[in-house]
Amino acid sequence: MTINRRVFLTGLAAAPAAAAAAGTAGSAFAAEGAATAAPVLHSFTLGDARVTVLLDGHLPLGTQLFNGYEAAKAEQVLAQGLHRLQNDALQIPVNGYLVERAGQTLLIDTGTAQLMGPGLGALGAGLAAAGVAPEAIDTVLLTHIHPDHAGGLIAADGSAVFANAELVAAQREWDFWHDDAILAGVPESSRGFFEMARRSVAPYADRLKLLQGETEAVPGFTALELPGHTPGHTGFMLDAGGEGLLFWGDLIHSTALQFALPEWTIAFDTDPAQTVQTRRQMLDRAAADNLLVTGAHLDFPALGRVLRQGEAFAYQAAPWQFGL
């Protein structure tokens, strides 16, 4: 995939507040916030795996961050459901995942650790409520290295939160965030994204597994290339003894809008055209194969299936009692 630097840099410039927040990553791990965050989690059994969805908190996704946003279209879609705009923004969840199976204890993404403001940073509290200490995590799978996915990797002093974990990510994703030529072209006010990305993964450099293509990430998990949002954006397919679950990262940011309007991208998508192509392909596959899916920004507890609706799609949430 060719990295569209112009589009990426334009996206960063469109959200200076978020970039500024990321720029303080080294010192902004709010220990007080992390300690007081209320745990929100939901566990279920799938085949031979126990999956716990950990809610890190919510982010406001402003309408100005949607590329090509049309108020009339948004209003028409929102009128069909219960989502509502508040101050021209939709609240989107940030989810991470604890998966326990076959002697493995792993995380998929790690939340924000308060790097992106109040109302976030609860993933650690959820992990504690699940009875799992950070040192018990043996693997962290990263869908990509954005602050709401990788921020929880490090503590206030920059040390690794998950002292015994191997970090698994796509080679393409790693290379992108560590490319000095790309960093040189980023506006000064937006370089915090790159600084945060590098700082978050640095303590894991000596226990790092980088993936190329569709391959086994760890036993039971297949990595799927889902480029567009970032160059190395990756999904993970769990094979839980004959039952499957697709963790698709940021394939969808807004449950409210992007199933019905899959062509709508956001400012943080590296390559919007690639994002739409990847999204449509994966939504088509999920609908055709009746896949059970979950995603970092699907409405908590973020478990359901994709339905076809003409040229668009719909999300069918699993009942809250799923797996109980």
Do the domain assignments include residue 184?
yes
99 vs 117: CA distance, rounded Å: 27
> Identity (one letter) of the amino acid at 214?
E
- How many C-beta neighbours within 10 Å does residue 219 have? 11
Do the domain assignments include residue 166?
yes
- Please spell the DSSP secondary structure of 154-222, one letter per residue: B-TTS-BSSTTPEEEEEHHHHHHHT-HHHHHTS-GGGTHHHHHHHHHHGGGTTSEEEE-SSEEEETTEE
Do the domain assignments include residue 322?
no
Query: Which residue, among 1, 35, 6, 12, has the nearest Cα to 194 in the 3D structure?
Result: 12
- For residue 118, the model assigns a pLDDT of 80
Mean pLDDT of 65-87: 96
Q: State what percent of residues in the chain have pLDDT above 90.
A: 81
Out of 34-38, 61-65, 96-100, 109-113, which region has the weakest mean confidence (pLDDT)? 34-38
Mean pLDDT of 140-155: 97
Q: What is the residue-averaged pLDDT of the chain? A: 89
Q: What's the whole-model pTM score?
A: 0.90
- For residue 10, the model assigns a pLDDT of 43
Confidence of residue 255 (pLDDT cuts 50, 70, 90): very high
Do the domain assignments include residue 324?
no
Q: Note if the bond before 134 is cis, omega within 30 degrees.
A: no
CATH assignment at residue 30: 3.60.15.10
Do the domain assignments include residue 171?
yes
| pLDDT of residue 5 exceeding 70 | no
Do the domain assignments include residue 209?
yes
Confidence of residue 289 (pLDDT cuts 50, 70, 90): very high
Residue 307's domain comprises 5-317
pLDDT in tens, 208-237: 999 999 999 999 999 999 999 999 999 999
Do the domain assignments include residue 122?
yes
Q: State what percent of residues in the chain have pLDDT above 70.
A: 88
Residues 141, 150, 305, 290: is their CA dihedral positive or negative? negative
E strand or H helix at 272: helix 272-289
| pLDDT of residue 138 exceeding 60 | yes
SS3 305: strand
CA atoms within 13 A on the CB side of 150: 29
Mean pLDDT of 117-138: 95
| pLDDT of residue 18 exceeding 50 | no
Do the domain assignments include residue 280?
yes
- For residue 9, the model assigns a pLDDT of 41
119 vs 113: CA distance, rounded Å: 11
**Could you tell me how many helices (H) and strands (E) the chain has, helices first?**
10, 16
Q: Is there a contact between 272 and 67 (Cβ–Cβ < 8 Å)?
A: yes
Number of structural domains (the chain) is 1
Strand pairing class (208-211; 215-218): unpaired
- Please spell the DSSP secondary structure of 27-78, one letter per residue: T---HHHHHHPPP-EEEEEETTEEEEEEEEEEEEEEGGGEET--HHHHHHHH
- For residue 36, the model assigns a pLDDT of 59
